[in-house]
Amino acid sequence: MAPAVDLQQTFPRRFVPEGADMGDWAQIEPLFQRLLDAIPDSPGALERWLEDASELVSVIHEEGARRYVAMTCQTDDPTREQAHLFFIEQIVPRVKPLSHALDEAYLRAPHRAALPPRYAQMDRLVSNRVALFRPENVPLETEEAKLKQQYQKVIGAMTVFFQGKEHTLQQMARYLEETDRSVRQEAWELVARRRLADRDRLEDLFDQLLALRVQIAQNAGCADYREFAFRQRERFDYTPEDCLLFHEAVEATVLPLVRRLRSERRQTLGLAELRPWDLEVDPLGRPPLRPFENSEQLTSGVEQIFARVDPELGEQFRFLRDASLLDLESRKGKAPGGYQSTMHERRVPFIFMNAVGMDGDLRTLLHEGGHAFHMLAARNEPILDYRDAPLEFAEVASMGMEMLASPYLGVFYAAPEEARRAFREQLERTVLIFPWVATIDAFQHWIYTRPRHSREERRAEWARIFARLAPEVDFGGYQEVVDYLWQRQLHLFLVPFYYIEYGIAQMGALQVWLHARADRAEAIRRYRSALALGGREPLPALFEAAGAEFDFSARVMAPLMAALAEALDETR
């Protein structure tokens, strides 16, 4: 059974002086030097040294996270922007070489071999970091971070005027659910034109990011950035070739179900062709699902859902709300998307999203809540490397929570038919995420193994991959929009090669869901126990602890699609 989480527990500084300012290099550098000058004279002393190093890095991470969160919550605030830029320009580049020096000191430590077996995974992580580190990459990574911030700023500033009001692009998503097809088309076209207005600016940003990433990989002695990214993302348990097989598995086992769903939608809507503005509307002509009107209703209802999944999870979410660790509503100047960030010193999560009252917003908060519970489950772990799980499993925590919460959607939908409809839409989106993950991942494999490509070649390859994995939707007359659809995926700009994780994790989450259908209590117990492991175990062991198999081939994918098809039939 997973240990209970003590939400009142604090983690006072033991090594870093209370009140030390982690935005002041003059106060940070001597602390690194103290650690580097220390020579642990026993295995126990080395463990204490590792905990002190984790504390120092955690405190610095929290300072950076606070500034990043503040900036994304209001990208048009110059004070927040400058605070964030100062940190990534003046603090992070100085921290990286000293963090690397700490890793090297650990690998040289005479008592390292005598540490308990629990440090084996950390040994692998540290050895990999040391092998990849190059001092000449530090300024390049700083430039990369600045370009990423510019992407956030460009996207955060995108608004349109529609029906007499200014809307963020996130707010415009509501209109794609309207039953009036002309309204949907007008909204879709307006957003598409707004994105196209900045296409050249985003192309420029991406070309600069690509050049930096290619140089970083070359400096690290890698054949290309794909090799570098796989090592940097600690993908010890699968290869690029496995990813290419995942793309093929999606094509073979998922696209038939996608075609069926698209065909049913087209026929129910009475259309000759399904257009891009026909994908979100209810095919039976029912008004859009609007589960809440404001963030208070959203948080209150989600808290009830979490409590029904597991009472302790409800308490944990209430803690986040009461501690002001949520920023949920969309507004002008706010960065796009949603994320869960960790305040590593306090060991608490922060949830950011852009809610506009849609059913998808409910799922987003359930998803990010899963990430938050994952962080809290491992908060007692003293070693920073072990408080974060590999991303492929971190997304099992979030996607698994979406599926485990699905029986309780009635909290938001009093009418059983609305709850059933919301669940069906969730199942459909679960199916549809696989082709999009394969599309983004395949595009990245092409980009970074052919770094000398032209913009025209990039657009052509994107269009080819998109056509291969996006069947049954007619984009006729909008080829230019299709050519630049990739620019809306922030991961391509902000976290390169971070996307296949969603496909891998969704397969794990579906296995957790299927176990819950058979034995709900046991499935939730295993899920929570796996979260409590943090990053102490390799990926296959984390999946196994949750009751899932770490395999994203067609062999495992095909029965999961069959189960989804059966569940979809049950929701008719």
Residue 4 has a pLDDT of 83
CATH number of the domain bearing residue 174? 1.10.1370.30
d(CA 346, CA 79): 24
Task: Identify any residues that bridge with 329 across adjacent strands, giving them in sequence order.
Answer: 355
Write phi, then psi, for 549 (nearest 5 degrees): -100, 135
23: Cβ–Cβ under 8 A, 6 or more apart, which residues? 63, 83, 86, 87, 91
Cβ atoms of 329 and 355 closer than 8 Å: yes
d(CA 506, CA 502): 6
d(CA 54, CA 48): 10
Q: Residue 362 is encoded by which pair of tokens?
A: 């409910």
Q: What is the pLDDT of residues 188-219, one digit of tens each?
A: 999 999 999 999 999 999 999 999 999 999 99
Cβ atoms of 487 and 195 closer than 8 Å: yes
Q: What is the pLDDT of residues 453-482, one digit of tens each?
A: 999 999 999 999 999 999 899 999 999 999
Write phi, then psi, for 326 (nearest 5 degrees): -135, 135
Residue 34 has a pLDDT of 97
Residue 303 lies in a domain: no
User: Would the CA dihedral through 353, 191, 171, 71 be positive or negative?
Assistant: positive
Cβ atoms of 501 and 392 closer than 8 Å: yes
Residue 336 lies in a domain: no
Question: From the centroid of its chain, how far is CA 45?
Answer: 36
Residue 369 lies in a domain: no
> DSSP assignment of 126-193, as one string?
HHHHHHH--TTHHHHHHHHHHHHHHHHHHHHT-EEEETTEEEEHHHHGGGGG-S-HHHHHHHHHHHHH
Residue 323 lies in a domain: no
How many structural domains does the chain have? 1
Q: Which residues of the chain have pLDDT under 70?
A: 1-2
In the β-sheet with 339-343, what is the strand arrangement from edge to edge? 326-329, 348-355, 339-343
Residue 336 has a pLDDT of 85
Name all contacts of 27-34 with Cβ < 8 Å and 24+ positions apart: 28/60, 28/91, 28/94, 28/95, 29/94, 29/98, 31/56, 32/56, 32/98, 32/101, 32/102
d(CA 52, CA 50): 5
- Which amino acid does the sequence have at 235? R
Q: What is the pLDDT of residues 226-239, one digit of tens each?
A: 999 999 999 999 99
Task: Identify any residues that bridge with 165 across adjacent strands, giving them in sequence order.
Answer: 162
Residue 342 lies in a domain: no
Residue 1 has a pLDDT of 62
Residue 40 lies in a domain: yes
Residue 453 lies in a domain: yes
Residue 295 lies in a domain: no
Domain hosting 166: range is 9-289+390-404+414-572
Q: Which pTM was predicted?
A: 0.92
